[in-house]
Homo-oligomer: A and B are copies of this chain.
Amino acid sequence: MVAAYVLVQTEVGKAADVAKAVAEMPGVLRADDVTGPYDVVVQVEADGVDALGALVVAGVQSIPGITRTLTCPVVRL
């Protein structure tokens, strides 16, 4: 399993709608509205790096109102 934090920027005024929609997607553990350079922090889990990429590109990024996502895979050092 690969876990990741996905830092999301949204169109102005869309942060709450995006967080709600993302939170209900499969593979998404949690989605929080935040202030700062990012608008929503999403915690996800997938079977591997490719599945993680697919989850973000085909899943999270399909939510209307998202302008950029930055995926930070968790590593166990």
Residues of A within 8 A of B (CB): 2-5, 7, 9, 12-13, 15-16, 19, 32-38, 41, 48-50, 52-54, 56-58, 61-62, 66-77
Contact = CB atoms under 8 A, between A and B. Distances in A.
Given A36-B36, A52-B35, A15 B77 contact: yes
11 contacts: A4-B34, A5-B32, A9-B68, A33-B53, A34-B74, A35-B53, A35-B73, A38-B72, A49-B74, A50-B75, A58-B77
B15 A71 contact: no
Given A13-B57, A77-B53, A37 B37 contact: yes
Nearest to A17: B77
